Structure 1
Amino acid sequence: MTPRHQLNVSRRKLLTTLAGAAVAVPAIAMIAPHALATAGSDDNGTKADGALPLTIVNNSGSYDNSSVFLYIVGNQDGKQVRLTPEGTLAPIALSDNGDDGFTDYAIELSGSGETKLSLPYMSGRIYVALGDKLKFKAVEDGDGNGALQYPAGWVTTDPNYSVLHDCAEFTYNSSGMYCNTTMVDMFSVPLSIGLTGSENQTVGTLRDGGRAQAFAALSKIPEFAPLVVDDRRIIAPGHGLDAGIFDKDYFAPYIDEVWSTYTGKDLTVTTNAGAFTGRVRGDQFVFDGPASVSFSKPTTRDVLFCDGNLAAPNDGTTGPVAAVLGAGFNRSTLISEPAQPSTDPAAFYTASQLTNHYAAAIHAATEDGKAYGFAFDDVADFASYIQDTAPTGATLTLTAF
């Protein structure tokens, strides 16, 4: 199977199609790379066919069905849409804003038991809000089309900051269903997502007490403790940096050490395109191999967002190398392992200070050790991502707190 970070996927593409324009998003959201996927080399020739049965299961144990509100929003054919309770897609319209200035796109769960829905072809997010509804505002994008301002739980002035909520991401089209539970922006509500079809798959399930353990673990680390917002959510450190509650130079000593280490020896990065051999020359990390690619020294923000000097274009060469480097920085394996990507999770997050403790805590909280703690957590297949080219059903489960 092709390593998922090699697929021709842009983690910014879903953001663009969801937002329509920058005005539609109150803050930049980090979209997991496989929120919008193509069949790629995993396509076995079978195709998805029509509407997909979607089941919502509330096993939270903390909120009954009447206190859970569901939103399925995204895009179809380049236009922003939302799913109605009847299973049809409706366009986003400014006229949907009520007297309070916000839409009410909530889908209520069944009075008890499971909630059955029908999912047509679209890409987007499934939001759940517990105890209160989310405030999505319909706005006009740069092309005059209806678009949504999405919740930004890491922004204190966002109208949804006080609401307990979270989301999963998906693309469903004729090639199949591609989905993940994401903690790239924040971690709040325990969710798992399952697919039936060519096989039965489930991802995202937390260990018993996993949520509380993650909150407790980060609360004990001074640099990460400000990211813990009461018992509501943990903000990803990249957004914490932008908000001024996480050190903008946190990774700087590690970055400097990587640059120093590979001034005198080679780093090998293996991708589907082949092996790249890199060494720091001047101020550039230069890799030779199937193509010549190079990177300027990244900042802490570049590492956390896997962007800037670690941006990964969909070119089959620079992109895959950037993804592996981004994973190596976040997992703190670049210095200890000169052959990347590292595939032994026991070697991840072992630096006593300079590692992404947020991602470490999220992974430790899941049953299978898979999570989306940063944008290229799919490198070496450690992300909470599943796909099926012949799906027969999908299930989103609110698991126990």
Structure 2
Amino acid sequence: MGRTLPRRALAGLTTVVMLAALLLATGLTSTARAAVPATIPLKISNNSGRGEPVYVYVVGTLLSTGQQGWADAGGTFHPWPAGGNPPTPAPDASIPGPAAGQSATIRIPKLSGRIYFSYGQKLVFKLTTGGLVQPAVQNPSDPNRNILFNWAEYTLNDAGLWFNSTQVDMFSVPYAVGVQRADGSTASTGRLKPGGYRGFFNALRGQPGGWSNLIQTRSDGTVLRALSPLYGLETGALPATAMDDYINRVWSKYSTSTLTVTPFADQPSVKYYGRVSGDVMHFTNSAGAVVTSFQKPDSASVFGCFKKLDAPNDSVRGPISRTLCAGFNRSTLLVNSQQPDTGSASFYQDAVTNHYARGIHAQMADGKAYAFAFDDVGHHESLVHDGNPAQAYLTLDPLD
């Protein structure tokens, strides 16, 4: 990606790791710790209907050492060799995927990382002195720009498996993720409704304001993907002011009223109170002490959930920022001064909203997705988890 890890991976997967570490430290996962093996099977089913060969990659970071590398089909971890400046070619980490209508099972090791899959061509990975350079298709010169591909994210550790689909960086070829529990039951998420793939792109094309410019098409007419709004801003596909009107209205509202944030569902007594003074929203605790403050965000801060809405992995600013980010992207801050708004009925109802995220959620069979960095606020994310997974699933779905 021209960078080592995406914002969502750093935010979401790091939180997962912290939670797992906490559970292990308190002894709450002793059974899972004994039961979760070094690798688990991942069944990949190709229901895409496409005739091209599929290539699969398992890349990530060892949680125990922070070492980056890749895994082969048997689940053996291989550290990346030293990179260079300019970047040097990475070893071929591709695993042959199943043909259309077939399935194949590989093993995935204990990592925090990604499972890439591409159609027709192998992906190009390179190594810098700082580690793996992943695809950055918002860059016109990226060698992967004209390849049809996507990825899922996972963390497997002693506390179990977290496996999710993601559209934080882009919306592309559809897939679903799943897990089989030790008792034989299964859970899955990430699947589009019938016609949802084309439905999303049609909705984006019909949305005024430059949203159709997010769509990238290959010279042969193949629709490759839609970039996230953040990348739309960075490439000029979307105007830099895309969310400004909504941001201005939020700042105006809370200059005369109070925004209450209750960031932890299991701690309803922990509340923070936001009021705007000039270009700054100050949050106080129940004792009236200021605990953190936010400069008025711009559209990039909203879409990326960073910069002026930075969310460190702490117990105060991060949880408040996550809540603000979700409220801005879902456009719920004007209709509900009690945040987070966990019910989806009021999401994306304002004319100024994250129409990319709105369109993705509208096309998901279960309504769940990771369409922006903190889409897990209120549990609207496309995630499966089990503390003692017997098997994971990745299903490549048709582009209809």
Tell me the TM-score range normalised by the shorter chain. Answer: 0.7 to 0.9
Unaligned runs of 5+ in 1: 1-23, 142-146
Distance 1:330 1:157 in 2: 30
1:193 lines up with 2:192 in the alignment: no
Alpha-carbon contact 1:34-1:178 (below 8 Å) kept: no
Distance 1:56 1:209, change over 3 A: same
Which residue does 1:181 correspond to in 2?
165
Give the TM-score, by structure 1 length: 0.86
Which one of the candidate residues 1, 12, 16 is aligned to 1:34?
12
Distance 2:331 2:307 in 1: 19
Which residue does 1:363 correspond to in 2?
361
Distance 1:86 1:172 in 2: 15
What does 1:214-253 align with in structure 2 at a 5 Å threshold? Answer: 214-222=200-208, 223-230=210-217, 231-253=223-245
Which residue does 2:2 correspond to in 1?
25
Q: For residue 334 of structure 1, what is the amino acid of its counterpart?
A: L
* Residue 357 of structure 1, CA deviation: 0.2
Give the TM-score, by structure 2 length: 0.87
Task: Note the alpha carbon deviations across 1:320-363, whole angstroms, 9 max, x for none.
Answer: 111010000000110111111112212111112x1000000111
Which residue does 1:152 correspond to in 2?
136
* Residue 277 of structure 1, CA deviation: 1.5
1:313 lines up with 2:312 in the alignment: yes
Distance 1:257 1:29, change over 3 A: same
Q: For residue 61 of structure 2, what is the amino acid of its counterpart?
A: N
When the two chains are superposed, the root-mean-square deviation of aligned CA atoms in Å is 2.1
Task: Give the share of equivalent positions with the same residue, in percent.
Answer: 38
Alpha-carbon contact 1:30-1:375 (below 8 Å) kept: yes
Identify which range, 276-285 or 110-119, moves more after superposition: 110-119
Alpha-carbon contact 1:34-1:179 (below 8 Å) kept: no
1:207 lines up with 2:205 in the alignment: no
What does 1:356-395 align with in structure 2 at a 5 Å threshold? Answer: 356-395=354-393
Alpha-carbon contact 2:45-2:394 (below 8 Å) kept: yes
* Residue 275 of structure 1, CA deviation: 1.3
Distance 1:202 1:196, change over 3 A: same
* Residue 186 of structure 1, CA deviation: 0.1
Q: For residue 58 of structure 2, what is the amino acid of its counterpart?
A: I
* Residue 28 of structure 1, CA deviation: 7.3
Counterpart secondary structure, 2:372: coil
Distance 2:296 2:393 in 1: 42
Which one of the candidate residues 73, 89, 93 is aligned to 1:105?
93
Which residue does 2:123 correspond to in 1?
134
Distance 1:113 1:336 in 2: 48
* Residue 110 of structure 1, CA deviation: 4.4
Name the count of aligned residue pairs: 367
Which residue does 2:150 correspond to in 1?
166
* Residue 29 of structure 1, CA deviation: 3.2
* Residue 139 of structure 1, CA deviation: 2.8
Which residue does 1:278 correspond to in 2?
274
Alpha-carbon contact 1:35-1:180 (below 8 Å) kept: no
Identify which range, 125-134 or 42-51, moves more after superposition: 42-51
What does 1:345-356 align with in structure 2 at a 5 Å threshold? Answer: 345-352=344-351, 354-356=352-354
Counterpart secondary structure, 2:12: coil
Alpha-carbon contact 1:34-1:385 (below 8 Å) kept: no
Identify which range, 53-62 or 42-51, moves more after superposition: 42-51
* Residue 88 of structure 1, CA deviation: 0.8
* Residue 289 of structure 1, CA deviation: 1.7
Distance 1:319 1:53 in 2: 35
Distance 2:375 2:83 in 1: 39
Counterpart secondary structure, 1:35: helix
* Residue 308 of structure 1, CA deviation: 1.0
* Residue 102 of structure 1, CA deviation: 5.3
Identify which range, 39-48 or 169-178, moves more after superposition: 39-48
Distance 2:227 2:308 in 1: 23
Which residue does 1:256 correspond to in 2?
248
* Residue 87 of structure 1, CA deviation: 2.3
